[in-house]
Amino acid sequence: MSYVGPDFDPPQPRRSPLRRPLVVAAAALVPGALAGWLLWQATGSGGEAGGSGGVAAGASSTGKTASTGSGDDDKVPTPSASDPSSSSSSSSPSVPAASGPLSGKVVVIDPGHNPGNFQHTTEINRKVDIGTNRKECDTTGTSTNSGYTEADFTLDVARRARKILEEQGATVKFTQDGNRPWGPCVDERARIGNEAHADAVVSVHADGSGSGNRGFHVILPGAVHEGAADTRPIVAPSRDLGERVAGRFVRNTGSAPSNYIGDGTGLVTRKDLGGLNLSTVPKVFIECGNMRDSEDAALLTSGAWRQKAAQGISEGIVSFVRK
């Protein structure tokens, strides 16, 4: 099945060592290219994104926060708690560039989970209203087999994306920036985007599926009108945002759409995620890869690859807010 969306270059088959990188562009629009990608092994995430890797605190397979898998290579600095420029609130506004194509635009990035969730079992296990039912406040997320956590991954990619977007003039806010001991809960994550009147919100995750499951997928909100949830106004714009993010993610990372969810499209619609159900602004989740697959894990733990992921996510956002 082919994936069709704005700014999408159909993915290319895995390059051989003898092929020059620029050859990819020559075949970028070949309709049959996706079939080649489907021969790849692919992936998906955990936690609020609902992948198999999300677990409540206390039920984690590692029970600890590991260091980044790539050491210090191309690492984005972490805000210091003693730095007066670091906000202690869950929503972390950044100062936008003086000018740029995104001047006046507000983007909220939601780094999935929190490195401190492991130590706060009671807090993240309590149930919150997500419109359709009640669900755990948050989860720990997943990790690679070597212990690199999803929470560390999402913060790193989010910080890289923030830098890219701010350089183009956007005001970027985080739901959490490693500056709170746990959470926020999924309902608060949605509320932060709503109260910011964000032009776009992207929640960054990585999956915890079985070995051999590879690739990325973007989760879109389904039409929900129940309790406190009414996603009907954002379903169409969120799909547009998701398609643009998926297309640019492929272009920048070379990753294939998931081989285990989404029927090869890289897009999945869900109605059980509080972060989407309670949003009143365009919002999607992206599961960047499967941390439990060794091949995907090698990418997710690479600082160079995380920079490509951040670039792809950012370009998708730029394409959406400037349309």
Residue for token digits 């070949």?
30
Amino acid at 72: D
Chain centre to alpha carbon of residue 288:
6
pLDDT in tens, 87-103: 333 444 454 445 889 99
User: For position 99, what pLDDT does the model report?
Assistant: 80
- Choose among 270, 280, 307, 283: nearest CA to 75: 307
Q: How far apart are CA 300 and CA 163, in angstroms?
A: 19
Amino acid at 283: K
Q: 82 CB contacts (<8 Å, ≥6 apart)?
A: none
Q: Which residue has the higher pLDDT, 21 or 198?
A: 198
* Domains along the chain with CATH numbers: 43-76+88-321 (3.40.630.40)
Catalytic residues: 287
Pairing, β 200-207 against β 171-174:
unpaired
Residue for token digits 């079939």?
35
pLDDT in tens, 192-230: 999 999 999 999 999 999 999 999 999 999 999 999 999
Are the beta carbons of 208 and 48 closer than 8 angstroms? no
Q: Mean pLDDT score of the chain, rounded to an integer?
A: 80
**pTM for the complete prediction?**
0.76
Residue 54 has pLDDT above 70, yes or no: no
Q: 236 CB contacts (<8 Å, ≥6 apart)?
A: none
Which 3 state secondary structure label does DSSP give 268? strand
Chain centre to alpha carbon of residue 297:
15
Q: State both tokens at 55.
A: 């677990």
pLDDT in tens, 235-280: 999 999 999 999 999 999 999 999 999 999 999 999 999 999 999 9
Are the beta carbons of 102 and 165 closer than 8 angstroms? yes
**Band (81; pLDDT cuts 50, 70, 90):** very low
41: left (phi over 0), alpha (psi -120 to 50) or beta: beta
Residue 29 has pLDDT above 70, yes or no: no
- Choose among 219, 255, 252, 227: nearest CA to 112: 219
Are the beta carbons of 42 and 259 closer than 8 angstroms? yes
